[in-house]
Structure 1
């Protein structure tokens, strides 16, 4: 989901507190902002001063916390939301939250249907780390890799020019990331129960990548 201004303000208190509580000595911590950052935040503070001055201050702390921790700020009280992402100047940052944790043994992901011509070239599972990897290839120009992880939320970013969009994977929200500089490479991220799935494809269309994702079971 894209992060609106209202969602940022709703999430700001919690995000700011999490950032401050992580500091080794929060009372003595001082941060010098760049002139560009101060100018941007000054505009935000002026716009919100009459109605919610304190919220703007917390939003500034939340933005700093997000940048320092490499996280995107979530959607406030949307506890049912599993995917948080934001995009600025081609750089996309995301947080994928687990739906829930489990004490059950790790269950390997399986593909009910593999696109024609693809063969499995590598497969591995680590129950200790709680992850599984499957790599398929078709000739020299097409391939995809499925990563299945358990136990921790997934935090990441795409530093190159890319475009993010929301998609649906078996009734759940997914994030599709398409490279603008190389249209043949795409990433698809989604959750299913106690697992997070990341599907990276090369030489495949978005529709083909979604079809693979919809056939993942565990």
Structure 2
């Protein structure tokens, strides 16, 4: 049985490959991006099972999953992730994934899951799929900003100019400029670029 493991974190990729390689009937190939995985499938595939990291470069949400599914000649493709939500897992299964593997999965369970999917079954850990979603905690910066300031910050995060933000929010450009100045002060940012970076990092825009 031939498996392809695609993950941009070398430590995770190497650990999974090394562990599954212990199984005498499994041959493991590896890739560090969707582009490389696609190349491997086109050049060496189809594989009996493809494992794709949801967060690796090129995945673009579930589009990468769909691309791999279309190339792997009907053989199973599964997602693995250390951060994706249960909804992402459900959407992946609905889109045709053979399974969803949290990266916290125990080694013995990993082998079981791989065997399960190789047999043509759908794998999703019950504990993960039924656990209550954690409540999102408000970022400390949330309390510092007004609703309008968050809207302006959202525009900065998308790379919009003051004029574009003003048009989008039906404001005067000078008003947007004042909001940007206030944002920089509240976020302790040197300029609008750093303010946008802080906003993205905080996940509040």
- Which structure carries more helix by proportion? 2
TM-score (norm 1): 0.22
Larger radius of gyration: 2
- Which structure carries more strand by proportion? 1
